[in-house]
Amino acid sequence: MKKKVLTKEDILHLAKLSNLKLSDEEIEKYLKQLEETVEYVKNLDELKTDKVSPTSQTTNLTDVYFADGETNERGLKLKEKYFIVKRIM
């Protein structure tokens, strides 16, 4: 028999990590659907990747900062080291 990729316990654990409340029906459904998806993406194993570096940013930007003297006009207004917000109480 084919080894199961995911178990019901896995789904419950993922739901807990994701802070989602799932119905029994959803648990069954996601178990099946996630398994299908995980099976599909295994096609990546057909490619050799051991000598390839990962990409996290497609246009090769690194270390992006605000230019000197530029200010963040869209943030909350500051007075000395405090934020100025509307009165709450």
Partner 1 sequence: MNLHGKSLLELKQLVIEKKISEKELNQYFLKRIRKFNPKLNAFITVLENNQLGIPYGAKDMFCTKGIRTTAASKVLDNFVPPYESTVTKKLQEAGMSVLGKTNMDAWAHGASTETSDYGVSKNPWDNKRYPGGSSGGSAAAISAYLVPAAIGTDTGGSIRHPSAWCGVIGLKPTYGRVSRYGVIAMGSSWDCPGPMTLNVEDNAYLLKQIAGKDKYDATSSSIAVQDYTNEIKKNKKFKIGIAESYFAGIDDQIKKHVYKSIDVLKKLGHAVKPIKLLPPKYSISVYTILQRAEVSSNLGRYDGIRYGNDRNFFGQEAKRRIMLGTYTLSYGYYDAFYKNAQKVRSIIIENFKSVFKDVDLIVGPNTPVTALNIGEFEKYPFYGELMDQLNEPASTAGIPDLSIPVGLDSNNLPIGFQIMGNYFEEANILNLAYQFEKETDFFGVIKKGINNYKD
Residue list 5-44, contact with partner 1 (CB under 8 A): 6, 10-11, 14-15, 17-22, 26, 30, 33-34, 36-38, 40-44
* Inter-residue contact 6 to 34 (CB < 8 Å): yes
* Inter-residue contact 85 to 76 (CB < 8 Å): yes
Q: Which of 2, 9, 24, 59 binds partner 1 (CB under 8 A)?
A: 59
d(CA 76, CA 35): 45
State the minimum distance, in angstroms, from the CB of residue 21 to partner 1: 6
Residues within the interface to partner 1 (CB under 8 A): 6, 10-11, 14-15, 17-22, 26, 30, 33-34, 36-38, 40-44, 46-47, 49, 52-59, 61, 64, 66-67, 70, 72, 74
